[in-house]
A and B are shown apart, each in its own frame.
Chain A
Amino acid sequence: MEITGIIILMGVVTYLPRLVPMYIIDVERIPGRLKLFLSFIPYAALGALILPGSISAVNGKPVVSALGILSAVIIAWFNRNIIVTVLLTVLATFIFISAGF
């Protein structure tokens, strides 16, 4: 039940910024600095999540976590397909765990 509540609230706070400006906002009047700030938020969020995960992604295995995320960075650098990156990273991580890191 709690998860359902979270999902509904997530839906509401996602929907409102999509809806409200269509009725009221004049986009020309949004200051450039604010636009810049808003454009950075997705990158900041990803960084905030990835870096601490580089020791905690795989429970109780900091070395595997670090190697796994490093692999993901290298794989993503050379291919743009998200699902390929995810699958190859899982494979690499599986190998690291099997190798006993």
Chain B
Amino acid sequence: MNRLRLKDGIFAGIPVFIGYFPIAVTFGLLAVSVKISLLETFSFSVIVFAGASQFVGLNMINAGIGAGEIVLTTFLLNFRHFLMSASLSTRAAFRRGLIPFVAFGITDETFSVASMEKREFSESYMLGLNFTAYSGWVAGTVAGYVAGDFLPPVLQESISICLYAMFVAILIPAVRKSYRAGIIALIAGLINSVLGYFAIFGSGWNIIFSILAASMAGMFFFREE
């Protein structure tokens, strides 16, 4: 059987493109409501290329939280890619010179597509897959920002719920799949609310502490599935 190449990867990325585009449009819309520039919004998606953490980053920038806390939260959020990247590298011997480009495009979705692929694939397959996914993300971001600029001001106040609606929309399907996700989220939410109420640390550190404490609690109470 032939190894999958660039063209196969580009096609394999189409469902990811379709999934990313509307989420990226949402990101662009939110960026308008947070009042960062088109160039900053564009750089966000071009440089970071990570869904959840871009939304979280936007939320924290909007709340006026310091750079250190934002960057540390991003690191925690995206550390899971460490495992995905490690797992993919056991699937294929990528050419070392191209690894930096293959690695850049590892997301939950591109990882899922590649790791579910039963046939053998090359680094050029991964590059094609990443390229399609990345195009959807960047194009959607710009489209969303441009559309958001035309939004009537009456909607501005209701728009501030967007970011939270987005978080809820990501979380609920996971909760429906496994009650664990819901329990972990609830614990983290309660810890963060209590810390916020007593204003013990800055709100960025509260978020970091809540994430670590709830994930650790989950690690002790739950077994591997």
Q: Which residues of A contact B67 (CB under 8 A)?
A: 2, 5-6, 9
Q: Which residues of B contact A3 (CB under 8 A)?
A: 36, 40, 61
Given contacts A22-B103, A52-B193, A59-B160, contact A72 B52 (CB under 8 A): no
Is B61 a contact of A43 with CB atoms below 8 Å?
Answer: no
A99 within 8 A of B: no
Is B176 a contact of A21 with CB atoms below 8 Å?
Answer: no
Is A45 a contact of B26 with CB atoms below 8 Å?
Answer: no
Q: Which residues of A contact B54 (CB under 8 A)?
A: 10
Is B169 a contact of A90 with CB atoms below 8 Å?
Answer: no
- Kindly report which residue of chain A lies nearest to residue B78, judged by CB atoms: A14
Interface centre among B59, B78, B164 (most CB of A within 10 A): B164
Is A46 a contact of B74 with CB atoms below 8 Å?
Answer: no
Given contacts A48-B189, A97-B157, contact A83 B25 (CB under 8 A): yes
Is B165 a contact of A85 with CB atoms below 8 Å?
Answer: yes
Q: Which residues of A contact B52 (CB under 8 A)?
A: 42, 45-46
Is B173 a contact of A80 with CB atoms below 8 Å?
Answer: yes
Is B87 a contact of A27 with CB atoms below 8 Å?
Answer: yes
Is A49 a contact of B207 with CB atoms below 8 Å?
Answer: yes
Tell me the B40-83 residues at the A interface (CB within 8 Å). 40, 43-44, 47-50, 52-54, 56-57, 59, 61, 67, 70-83
The 8 tightest CB contacts between A and B, nearest first, are A51-B189, A47-B185, A21-B86, A89-B165, A76-B172, A11-B47, A85-B169, A47-B188
List 16 additional A-B contacts (Cβ < 8 Å) besides A21-B85, A44-B210.
A7-B40, A10-B44, A17-B79, A18-B78, A26-B86, A28-B90, A33-B224, A42-B174, A44-B214, A45-B76, A45-B188, A49-B56, A58-B161, A72-B164, A77-B172, A89-B164
29 A–B contact pairs at CB < 8 A? Answer: A3-B40, A6-B61, A7-B57, A10-B53, A10-B70, A14-B49, A17-B81, A18-B78, A18-B84, A20-B85, A21-B89, A25-B86, A30-B86, A36-B219, A36-B224, A40-B219, A44-B210, A44-B218, A46-B170, A50-B189, A51-B193, A52-B192, A75-B165, A76-B172, A82-B23, A83-B22, A86-B26, A86-B162, A90-B165
